[in-house]
Each structure stands twice: as structure tokens, then as C-alpha cells.
């Protein structure tokens, strides 16, 4: 899997572009959760207190969980893999919108902070 240097941050949510090569494509027996039908709106994360949400709007959006991609990020941070077949926009009530290019696959992750309980534990940031 090759990482392109396109890294978008909207508050506590990060999108990184990811190129899917032939070798990365799921083998028939790889347990990738079935991709949902393409949608026009996807809520990536919602704030615990404010209820404000990071929302992607566009056409032909798909979000799915890839267990292999999940292994690439620390535990609990992975939201999903976002596939855009057309241009889209990432919006939030308190952050400026970010345009997302078409025909792109993003790894979507959250932000963490160290838990008061232990240096080895982290809690998810939720603004």
C-alpha cells in the first residue's frame, strides 16, 4: 500500500489518500465487509457533547471497514475507508469545509489523547 502525501485534517478527523494497487486488492477470501450502496451523504464522526458532525457530501460515496487497513493505525482510531467516485466536500459546523477530489480513496481516522489512567491507554478526542 502506497501513501500519497495528501493529508487533510478537520479538527479531530483526518483523511489520508491511499492508492490501492493490484496487490492490495482484496483476495476473494479476505474478510472485507461488503461495501454499502453508494450514498450522497456520510457522517464520519459526531461530537459527543456538541452533536456536531463531520459529514461528507457528494455523489457515489462509499465507506467500509477494511480489517487490513485497520491494522495500519493505532487501535480505536480507524473510522473506515472512504471511496469517492466523484468530487465531494467534507463539512462540519465549526470548521471550514474541505473539498475532496474525485476518484480518490481515503483512510479516515480520529484523533486521540493520552488517557489519565495509563500512558499505554488513549482516549478518542471528540469535539
Partner 1 sequence: MFPTSRAIVELNRAALDATIDEWSKIPTSTTPMDVQASEAAIRQLYHEAGLPSCANALEVRFADDPVAMVHEASVERKAGPVIQNRLQCAAMVNLDLLIDRELWLKIHHRVHSRFSRSRVTEQIWELINTETLTRRPRPHMARRIPDCILPTYVTSSLVIPDVAGKLAGAALPLGTQALLTLARSCGLVLPRQSVCWLSERPAEMHFNEQGLFNHPDVPAVRFHSGLKFCYWHGARVPADVMIPRESITVALVKEQGSIFLARLLIERMGIGRFIRESGALLASQDRTGRLFVEPLINSLGDQLWAAVEVVNGTPEPDGTYCRYYLQVPPQFTHSARAAVAWTYGLRPEDYVVTVRT
Q: Which residues in 14-33 contact partner 1 (CB under 8 A)?
A: 14
Tell me which stretch binds partner 1 (CB under 8 A): 7-15, 36-44, 61-69, 80-88.
7-15
Regarding 97 and contact with partner 1 (CB under 8 A), the answer is yes
Site membership for partner 1, residue 10 (CB under 8 A): yes
Task: Give yes or no for a contact between 41 and 57, defined as CB atoms under 8 angstroms apart.
Answer: yes
Among 39, 60, 85, 126, binds partner 1 (CB under 8 A): 126
3-state secondary structure of 24: helix
Span of 21-29, 55-63, 81-89, 108-116 interacting with partner 1 by CB under 8 A: 108-116
**CA dihedral sign, ordered 119, 47, 97, 16:** positive
Of 106, 117, 116, 98, the closest CA to residue 79 belongs to 106
Classify the C-alpha dihedral 2-15-45-50 as positive or negative.
positive
Site string for partner 1, 67-86 (x = CB under 8 A): ------xx--x---------
Which residue matches cell numbers 480520529? 110
Residues that bind partner 1 (CB under 8 A): 3, 5-11, 14, 48, 73-74, 77, 92, 94-98, 109, 111-119, 123-127
Amino acid at each position: 500500500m502506497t501513501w500519497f502525501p495528501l493529508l487533510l485534517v478537520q479538527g479531530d478527523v483526518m483523511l489520508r489518500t491511499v492508492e490501492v494497487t493490484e496487490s492490495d486488492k482484496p483476495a476473494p477470501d479476505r474478510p472485507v465487509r461488503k461495501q454499502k450502496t453508494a450514498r450522497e451523504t456520510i457522517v464520519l464522526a459526531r461530537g459527543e457533547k456538541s452533536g456536531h458532525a463531520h459529514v461528507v457530501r457528494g455523489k457515489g460515496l462509499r465507506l467500509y471497514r477494511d480489517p487490513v487497513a485497520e491494522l495500519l493505525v493505532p487501535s480505536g482510531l480507524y473510522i473506515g475507508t472512504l471511496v469517492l467516485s466523484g468530487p465531494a466536500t467534507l463539512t462540519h459546523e465549526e470548521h471550514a469545509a474541505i473539498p475532496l477530489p474525485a476518484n480518490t480513496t481515503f483512510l479516515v481516522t480520529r484523533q486521540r489523547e493520552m488517557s489519565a489512567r495509563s500512558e499505554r491507554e488513549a482516549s478518542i478526542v471528540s469535539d
